[in-house]
């Protein structure tokens, strides 16, 4: 073995060790959760988690999410009161955002009560966030020096990352199965539809690599892009999103670990596939972004094959997916959402519009949390009646970077939701919250 091959082999071994370590932490945390919302019988689901590592290399699971469902266009709400996308990767990200909000509020409460010295002495040792010393006067937080954020997914994310794994299966699939609505659930993405559309070209689906893909709905087209596309975006703008960028500098992933597939061929290289779909597509942006944003390249690692309830069959007709999504974080969040309605488990048709059915992960609840924190931090704005969309648009640096990202050939077909779906604001007995 030459020195180059030896280095490659050593790096691959180190990567798999990391993937194993991450997976063990994640499944230990998952097993500690109650049975509610977990797959039953033959059901399967997808599990995703965020972990934080400290400077001493301690690794802790801070958010968990499960799920494979997505709301169709006709069921989307203009009130922001449902969760549109209940795929595990999206659920866990929103659970992570909840954790960020809770931690910023905790630190800010200490600041208001005791001042900076007390915060420095007593709280920073236990917090993964800190005030950004390079951004004085704006009061923004950042991930603390030496702390790193990691993502685990039990299988390849839907869209581009899973396409090369699906192609050999789809080439051998019968025409009848390829036309069946249930087939779209394979790897919880509509790759089959895209493959069918590609037959007019070279017929093998290879031209689909690098394109934005749409998540399937149950007989109803969705307006949600694939998890591969969304994770690629996180590697440009950060995981924190537009609203949190008012308070928090971009937070990037240090590693992405994905479980082995029981259906993968011997020569399938998971790490290369992740790099191609989640990093190579955004690499051309490297010289176009300005700080604090940059093109992020996480470590990609293969984790061991997950247990049976996370192993999806080769064909969708043989896969029975769980309809529920579990969301959990270490700040106290624990909910179960019915992915086909975007509301909490147990919601009846009669009581579907009651606020008690709304998930903490809905846009409406995030807006309420944002407004409360903005008031606490005394962030000013010019309007008393301001919508969710207007607040997102007001995050200028974030939006400028997002526009550059969506201007790339690989992402310029990004699906845009109608403006009326994000035009809602928070109304309390007819009075909108005012800016402080």
What number of residues does the chain have? Answer: 436
Within 128-218, residue ranges assigned H as helices are 160-171, 175-179, 191-197
Element (H, E) at 368: helix 363-376
Q: Which of 17, 24, 60, 89 is catalytic?
A: 89
Element (H, E) at 153: strand 148-153
For 2, 140, 311, the CA distances from 135, given in Å and listed in that order, are 48, 7, 45
Active site residue 397: no
Evaluated on CA atoms 117, 119, 121, 124, the torsion sign reads negative
Pairing label, strands 324-329, 334-338: antiparallel
Measuring CA to CA, which residue among 394, 111, 390, 161 is closest to residue 271? 161
Bridge partners of 428? 431
> In this structure, what token pair is assigned to residue 61?
């699971």
Contact yes or no for 196/178 (Cβ under 8 A):
yes
* Distance of alpha carbon 234 from alpha carbon 229, whole angstroms: 9
Q: CA 34 from chain center: how many Å?
A: 23
Angle subtended at Cα 123 by Cα 119 and Cα 128, rounded to the nearest 5 degrees:
115
Crossing angle (nearest 10°) for helices 227-237 and 396-406: 130
- Count CB-CB contacts under 10 A for residue 351: 11
Q: How many Å from the N-terminal Cα to the C-terminal Cα in the chain?
A: 66
> In this structure, what token pair is assigned to residue 170?
């789809």
Catalytic residues, which ones?
Answer: 89
């Amino acid at each position: 073995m030459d020195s180059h091959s030896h280095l490659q082999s050593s790096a691959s071994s180190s990567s798999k060790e990391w993937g194993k370590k991450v997976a063990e932490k994640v499944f230990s945390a998952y097993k500690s959760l109650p049975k509610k919302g977990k797959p039953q019988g033959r059901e399967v689901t997808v599990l995703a988690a965020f972990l934080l590592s400290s400077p001493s290399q301690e690794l802790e699971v801070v958010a968990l999410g499960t799920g494979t469902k997505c709301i169709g266009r006709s069921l989307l709400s203009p009130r922001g009161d449902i969760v549109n996308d209940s795929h595990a990767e999206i659920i866990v990200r929103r659970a992570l955002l909840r954790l960020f909000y809770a931690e910023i509020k905790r630190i800010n409460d200490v600041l208001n009560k005791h001042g900076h010295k007390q915060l420095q002495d007593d709280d920073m040792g236990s917090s993964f966030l800190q005030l950004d010393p390079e951004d004085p006067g704006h009061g923004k937080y950042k991930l603390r020096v030496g702390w790193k954020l990691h993502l685990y997914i039990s299988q390849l994310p839907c869209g581009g990352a899973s396409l090369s794994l699906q192609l050999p299966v789809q080439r051998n699939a019968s025409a009848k199965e390829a036309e069946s609505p249930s087939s779209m659930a394979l790897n919880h993405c509509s790759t089959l539809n895209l493959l069918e559309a590609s037959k007019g070209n070279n017929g093998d689906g290879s031209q689909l690599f690098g394109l934005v893909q749409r998540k399937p709905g149950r007989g109803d087209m969705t307006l949600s892009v694939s998890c591969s596309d969304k994770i690629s975006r996180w590697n440009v703008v950060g995981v924190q999103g537009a609203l949190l960028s008012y308070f928090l500098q971009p937070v990037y992933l240090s590693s992405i670990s994905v479980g082995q597939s029981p259906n993968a061929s011997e020569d399938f290289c998971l790490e290369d596939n992740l790099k191609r779909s989640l990093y190579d597509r955004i690499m051309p942006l490297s010289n176009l972004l300005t700080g604090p944003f940059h093109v992020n390249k996480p470590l990609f690692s293969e984790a061991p094959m997950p247990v049976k309830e996370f192993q999806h069959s080769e064909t969708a007709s043989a896969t029975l997916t769980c309809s529920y999504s579990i969301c959990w974080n270490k700040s106290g969040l624990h909910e179960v959402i019915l992915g086909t309605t975007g509301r909490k488990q147990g919601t009846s048709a009669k009581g579907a519009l009651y606020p008690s059915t709304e998930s903490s992960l809905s846009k409406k609840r995030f807006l309420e949390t944002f407004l409360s924190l903005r008031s606490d931090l005394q962030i000013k704005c010019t309007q008393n009646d301001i919508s969710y969309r207007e607040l997102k648009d007001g995050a200028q640096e974030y939006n400028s970077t997002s526009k550059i990202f969506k201007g790339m050939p690989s992402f310029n077909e990004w699906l845009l939701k109608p403006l009326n779906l994000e035009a809602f604001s928070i109304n309390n007995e007819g009075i909108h919250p005012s800016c402080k």
